Structure 1
Amino acid sequence: MAVRDIWWVTRRLTRSRPVDDRPDRATEVFLAHRNLLFTIAYEMLGSAADAEDVLQETWLRWAGVDLDEIREQRAYLVRITTRQALARLRVLGRRKESYVGSWLPEPLLTAPDVAEDVELADSVSMAVLLVLETLAPTERAVFVLREVFDLPYEEIAEAVDKSPAAVRQIAHRARAHVAARRPREVVSAAETRSALAAFQRAAETGDLQGLLDILAPEVVLLGDGGGIKQAVPRPIVGADKVARLLIGGFGRVAELMSFRPTQVNGHPALVVHQDGELDTVVAVRIDDGRITGLYAVRNPEKLSHMAREHTLSRFA
């Protein structure tokens, strides 16, 4: 349910005042911060569907507060969203333990302006979201709020129910953890598009050598079918293994497949259609001009947010 739908449902249920087409004050404030809150929730969860659920829960709590008693509305909304996302993150952790095959973040079709904010685009890339998966829930919340959204330690402390001193220590530990695992440098969109174009040409033509040329020797392929669609059950490592697997897989259904470049999570990516239906989203990690990570999301439950563009934001 969209935020505006929640507003209408709430108004119709409460009947506290006449229903018209003008948002009330609480709704206007919430909608003004919606993109920021969604981005925080998505970065913490790696799931757009769960981020939308967190926003619904945030709205229901926000609709019940007295705005005249709230001094910092943005901080208050961020605090609610963070706490709801933390609760959801712990549930997701238990869910992932029984997930079939590799778990990958849910890809988002993003608006062009997301790519213009280099720090934001980097933070929502598939590669970085996977690094964030290795953090404990509170570490992830602190890292996201501090490193991505540059919130003061005192505000983060309120959101995660820790002291500012404890938050500083958590932030330092999380920063070091992520720095050791994230891509070494931010790669330009042009370089990523070039690598993807080479990958696409090789895949479409069955050019094994073309794939070997663009894949780094230590490339890792991860596939997420969620037990619904066929995907590699565990990571495939090495250019030769990955290239031969892809050529074999594409070759069997080549006449039914089409590749289209698009913008996913603020970066160039490929969408693969089979028989005219969206089948796979392929995101990549690039290091030194070659593909070091291939992330193929096939789980249809994770592809619903590829139907429309999402606007992510680090600011209200």
Structure 2
Amino acid sequence: MVSFSEIVEEARLSARALLDYGESFFNPTIRLGVTGLSRAGKTVFITALIHGLIRGGRMPVFEALSSGRIARAFLAPQPDDGVPRFAYESHVRALVAERRWPSSTVDISELRLVIEFQRGKGAERTLTLDIVDYPGEWLLDLPLLNKSYEQWARESLALSRSEPRSHLAGAWHAHLATLSAEGREDEPATLESARLFTDYLRACRDDRFAMSLLPPGRFLMPGNLAGSPALTFAPLDVPADGRAPDGSLWAMMARRYESYKDIVVRPFFRDHFARLDRQIVL
């Protein structure tokens, strides 16, 4: 059954989409999301794309540019006051002048590019392109919105017990064996579980293994939420259709899992992902 809060959320998304559509009707704007897991090359790709459009680079596959229909492209002020600007100039300097790779994507950022072009019949038009860069790990969190803590915990544990992940999860599994899900809530035990679970996720991401991760993606990129209860939980051995006793370690983990969805996942979906018109995944 759909809850009242879900109905309100859907209404907010619909109103936001209608507002964005009304604005783009008179001033065409495309929000392009660019994402991928860590070290996929997002920053270099975006920097090279913008650099090529601004400077008229060689892009033979991009017909609008190769045929000369794009008159010019230039950067415009950052449109969203609450989102950091993509550091294009710093990244160009790192690649061209300093001959080094720019810093990896650890948070969301955005850059506005205005493109003046000619349509097929020669009419001049302007297209505003908002490029949104964000870590692909955040994308992995979206399925959590439709999963309970119990479902997520069982899926995460099942995957961690299969090769080649099982030997990477040894320390976490050893600690997990000392816990009773129905025992009293325990802050030190929860902190240790979250630390060992995060170490396991980090080991999976290591270059030697380079395995895709299960959520929560923000555990490896906590930002200003580092150490907060919303990022301090881990899977427990619990039945997928069970119910946590009040005051138990299980209930504590489940409550923090739901807080993670409310504080991290839903705002990302509502304020950023749901507003994208196109998506590039590297």
> Is the TM-score greater than 0.5?
no
Instruction: Give the TM-score range, shorter chain.
Output: under 0.3
Q: Give 1 or 2: higher helix fraction.
A: 1
TM-score using structure 2 length = 0.28
TM-score using structure 1 length = 0.26
